[in-house]
Amino acid sequence: MKPKEVLAFAKENGAKMLDLRFIDLPGVWQHFSVPINQLEEGNFEDGYGFDGSSIRGWQPINASDMLIIPDPATAKMDPFCAEPTLSMICDIADPLTREPYSRDPRNIAKKAEAYLKSTGIGDTAFMGPEAEFFIFDDIRYDSRSNGAFYEIDSVEGSWNTGRDEAPNLGYKPRPKEGYFPVPPMDKFQDLRTEMVLVLEKLGIEIEAQHHEVATAGQAEIDMKFRSLVQMADQLMWFKYVLKNVAYRHNHTVTFMPKPLYGDNGSGMHTHCSIWKGGKPLFAGDKYAGLSQMGLHAIGGILKHCKAICAITNPTTNSYKRLVPGYEAPVNLAYSSRNRSAAIRIPMYSTSPKAKRIEFRTPDPSCNGYLAFSAILMAVLDGIQNKIDPGDPLDKNIYDLPPEELAKVPSAPGSLEEALNYLKADHEFLMKGDVFTQDVLDMWAEYKTANEIDPVRLRPHPHEFFLYFDI
């Protein structure tokens, strides 16, 4: 929509409020609202002022004034507000220079798309994330200087087979057996369907929904692929819709990668392809139906994977999922059909339009704007430098003898390790001024001070089990 069309759309839907949304550096939607009469055509250029010093990873207090500029193409009616509310995703600008803000993740994603076009390699990068999540009934946690705990509960939890539920009707998926029995074992079919219908009402095309592997309500809803910025925008709506649909049914949704011990974590397998002039560029006559460009793209991801994990797997909890020998694809190899490799080439269709690579290491705790941009920059570096991905690994990696497995590189074992790789390997991200040194420095500083150090300094509850009687 254009600005005039947005004003007409708001009037047609009886909007009373305007909700302005943007994303902070870690990846959480922020917003504020104004009465709809405060929206005029000029606001699509002039924007609205706000305090940028209160946003995580952004401005110091002595330079706090920022502009938020609504993008008319993103206008939607919010499906959850009590009063009719028009929502728009916004870009952030400096009020003095009017330049896009370097630490605005959406700006970084826009620059990634622009850089792709500037290379002449392609004109569109398509992304298709499969963001897994958990639906819980109850979550309690606390972290103090003298104690810490968390407690998760779910009517589906396998640990509740013996609970007095007056009556307990059973049908609770065993660990790693949630993929995917019909109801009544699957208790969230109707809830997921409601999520799908709300997403579709917002114009987000959905391909499938299903229960996932873990007990206690793990699930997946798959969006049809879209261009990079469009998909990053959709991912924010996706998380917002799922959380709010669950909330109004007295459930809660989390995209935390590893909330349960001893069962599968939540990944975000991300499908990627590059097109030019309406034609897919990753389809060809090489391995698994890929083009040479597609193989070079894989080479770029494998070369830079340890660095981009700091962005695609950006939490300390991410590395509870990325543990060698378990379900997560930590092995830096590629294969057709083999889901134990970090990169898979899906073989569901022989159509050239369906040919893409699937990067399986990321998880849904990431900031989609930053993660998709980092993946694209690694892909482009592989294509530009003709990086050879080596031979595919079509064996089950988990069954390899130790001497063969030792030759397969692995993803980082911690967020701190990933950040160290990022510090050593980030030049490819800075091409075209997509990621700036300022952004990368702030990312490492924020993650270290606010996540790594607080977790590292605290005793873990299980340490008392192991060591209290020493």
Sequence-distant (6+) residues with CB within 8 A of 106 are 22, 23, 89, 91, 92, 229, 232, 233, 369
Asked if 98 is an active-site residue, the reply is no
* Whole-Å CA distances, 214 to 196, 209, 238, 339, 355: 21, 15, 21, 17, 29
Sequence-distant (6+) residues with CB within 8 A of 254 are 133, 134, 136, 139
Q: Which of 137, 156, 212, 263 is catalytic?
A: 212
Q: Are 135 and 252 in contact (CB under 8 A)?
A: yes
Asked if 220 is an active-site residue, the reply is yes
Asked if 5 is an active-site residue, the reply is no
- Whether cis (ω within 30° of 0) applies to the bond prior to 364 is no
Asked if 453 is an active-site residue, the reply is no
- Return the ∠ at Cα 382 (arms to 282 and 293), rounded to 5°: 25
The DSSP string of 333-393 is -EEES-TTSSEEE--S---GGG--EEE-S--TTS-HHHHHHHHHHHHHHHHHTT----S--
Cβ contacts of 149-156, under 8 Å, gap ≥ 24: 149/461, 152/216, 152/259, 152/260, 154/215, 154/216, 154/217, 155/187, 156/187, 156/188, 156/215, 156/216, 156/217
Q: Which of 51, 190, 441, 445 is catalytic?
A: 51
Asked if 458 is an active-site residue, the reply is no
Asked if 132 is an active-site residue, the reply is yes
| 181 torsion bin: left (phi>0), alpha (psi -120 to 50), beta (else) | beta
Q: Which of 91, 104, 132, 233 is catalytic?
A: 132
Asked if 40 is an active-site residue, the reply is no
292 in helix, strand or coil? helix
Beta strands in 118-217 (DSSP E): 124-136, 138-144, 147-153, 206-211
Q: Which of 192, 251, 269, 321 is catalytic?
A: 269
Backbone angles phi, psi at 106, to 5 degrees: -70, -35
User: Could you list the active site residues?
Assistant: 51, 130, 132, 212, 220, 269, 339, 358, 360
